[in-house]
Amino acid sequence: MENEYLLLTPGPLTTSATVKKAMNRDYCTWDDDYKKITQSIRSSLLKIAQVDPEKYTAVPIQGSGTYGVESVISSIIPTNGTLLIAMNGAYGERIGQMADVYGIDHVDLKVDEQQPVTKELVEAEIKAHPEITHFAMIHCETTTGILNPIEDIIPWVKAQGIVTIVDAMSSFGGIPIDVQGLEIDFLISSTNKCIQGVPGFAFVIANKMILNGTRGYARTLSLDLFAQYDEMEKDNGKWRFTSPTHVVHAFAQALTELEVEGGVENRYQRYQDNQRQLSAGMDKLGFKQLIADQWQSPIITSFRYPTEDFNFAEFYQALKAAGFVIYPGKISVVPTFRIGNIGEVYSQDITDLLDAIAKISATTV
């Protein structure tokens, strides 16, 4: 049997034994009890999003987080619409790829990967392109671990009459987000991130009034966001196509465990404590954080290679053998690797990781 290890990644991540246990039986997709679980999940997500259920809805979409983002991009923009995409990493760029696939007119605001998207940059782009109807940005860009200031940007964009889209894949459930207060029209996340479930479906927190106006816009069948919402409303939580039943039950358990932990605020504090302990400890070992503290998220941290001849592949394998799995870097201009600290990860885990890195560094770095 393969040795178990702690996943120090931004998802999939290490889950609790009870979340895993929730998947240890088979379920029927048409059963009323199962549909009730789907409805309870949708209700819980709205509470986490801090929205009025009369104004917002939660729509699960089968597949990874990218499926959820693609569902929104392909479903809510009319043929005469123009999408502004803020890009300071791979996930903003991926939205641009989606727009290209569907022939959606888009304007790309490209920002250095080591810098945040700012309100000033977004303002300038919108003023230069009055045809813009929709705006999309990433909250936590896991390419580097940077946290973009949606609280500064989104309300101003919405005030211009533009539909707002936030990819909160790696932040929702782990960082407090007042979706309604910020006037986010569509927020996307997934099961295997800060709510600490397993991979299998994404979900969209959607402004009902705007979503109801998108009937017929979808450019796909299975990713049609309005159709999925419409089916769930008409048939009390029934998914249009086969849903990941085991993942749904695991996610329901994960939501319960989030509540037991004390909600998003308490989880946010744990993640922040983990990240600060990690970054301080790594600094003492000679590994410098890439992103300035002001913009560093509590989700995942990029570290510069300590020397020019640092061998990440050897470092990775040594850490894996010690019981920890991390991420390689994702930017080309600076050699980095990344360590996540979300999931079932606590202070002692970070201490153990730092001890392992100290031992490995003494022989390999």
CA 43 to chain centre: 19
362's enclosing H/E stretch is: helix 347-364
Q: How confident is the model at residue 355, as a pLDDT?
A: 98
Same domain, 91 and 180: yes
324 contacts 34 by C-beta, under 8 angstroms: no
pLDDT of residue 364: 61
Pairing of strands 327-328, 336-340: antiparallel
The 10s digit of each residue's pLDDT in 43-90 is: 999 999 999 999 999 999 999 999 999 999 999 999 999 999 999 999
Residue 1, domain member (yes or no): no
Residue 10: what pLDDT? 87
Name the residue among 66, 103, 108 with its Cα closest to residue 88: 108
Same domain, 97 and 241: yes
Tell me the per-residue pLDDT of 118-150, one tens digit each, with 9 for 90 and over. 999 999 999 999 999 999 999 999 999 999 999
**pLDDT above 70: percentage of residues in the chain:** 99
For residue 362, pLDDT over 90 is answered with no
Tell which of 244, 259, 274 closes a domain: 259
* Number of domain units in the chain: 2
**Global confidence as pTM:** 0.96
| Contact partners, residue 60, CB within 8 Å, separation at least 6 | 38, 41, 42, 201, 202, 203, 228, 232, 239, 243, 248
The CB-based long-range contact list for 228-232 (8 Å cut-off, 24+ gap) reads 228/59, 228/60, 228/61, 228/71, 229/57, 229/59, 232/38, 232/42, 232/59, 232/60
Burial level of 204, CB count in 10 A (0-12/13-18/19+)?
buried
Q: Give yes or no: residues 211 and 65 share one domain.
A: yes
Q: Identify whether the C-beta of residue 146 lies closer than 8 Å to the C-beta of residue 295.
A: yes
Residue 217 contacts residue 73 (beta carbons within 8 Å): no
Of 259, 274, 303, the last residue of a domain is 259
Cβ-contact 289, 276 below 8 angstroms: no
Section 190-195 average pLDDT: 98
**Tell me, what CATH number does 87's domain have?**
3.40.640.10
DSSP result, 2-47: PPP-EE-SSSS----HHHHHTTSS---SS-HHHHHHHHHHHHHHHH
227 and 138, same structural domain?
yes
Q: 67 and 219 in contact (C-beta within 8 Å)?
A: no
Contact (CB, 8 A) for 109 and 153: no
Please check whether residues 253 and 268 belong to one and the same domain: no
Q: Report the chain's C-alpha Rg in angstroms.
A: 21
Asked if residue 131 belongs to a domain, the reply is yes
Same domain, 230 and 278: no
More confident residue, 219 or 28: 219
- The tokens for 177 are 């987000």
The tens digit of pLDDT for each residue in 330-361 reads 887 899 999 999 999 999 999 999 999 999 98
Look up residue 294 and give its DSSP letter: G
135 shares its domain with 232: yes
* Vertex 15: Cα angle to 47 and 22 (nearest 5): 75
Residue 135 domain-assigned?
Answer: yes
Instruction: Identify the three-state secondary structure at position 168.
Output: coil
pLDDT band of residue 2 (cuts 50, 70, 90) is low
One domain for residues 185 and 276: no
Q: Distance of CA 294 to CAs 121, 148, 273, 340, Å?
A: 18, 10, 15, 18
pLDDT of residue 327: 93
Model pLDDT, residue 1: 35
Return the biggest CA–CA distance within the chain: 62
Task: Print the domain residue range for 29.
Answer: 21-259
Strand partners, 86: 109
d(CA 150, CA 169): 13
Q: What is the CATH number of the domain that holds 358?
A: 3.90.1150.10
Q: Please indicate, yes or no, whether residues 251 and 290 belong to a single structural domain of this protein.
A: no
- Give me the sign of the Cα torsion angle 229, 62, 46, 156: negative
* pLDDT value at 106 more than 90: yes
Q: 219 and 276 share a domain?
A: no
Residue 233 domain flag: yes
Task: Output the average pLDDT for the chain.
Answer: 96
Q: pLDDT for 249-275, tens place per residue?
A: 999 999 999 999 999 999 999 999 999
Helices (H), 235-324: 245-261, 263-284, 312-321
Boundary of a domain, candidates 259, 281, 301: 259
Give the pLDDT band (50/70/90) at residue 30. Answer: confident
**What are the backbone angles phi and psi of residue 309, rounded to the nearest 5°?**
-100, 15
CB neighbours (10 Å) of residue 42?
19
Same domain, 120 and 215: yes
Distances (CA, A) of 221 to 71, 149, 240, 328: 10, 34, 10, 35
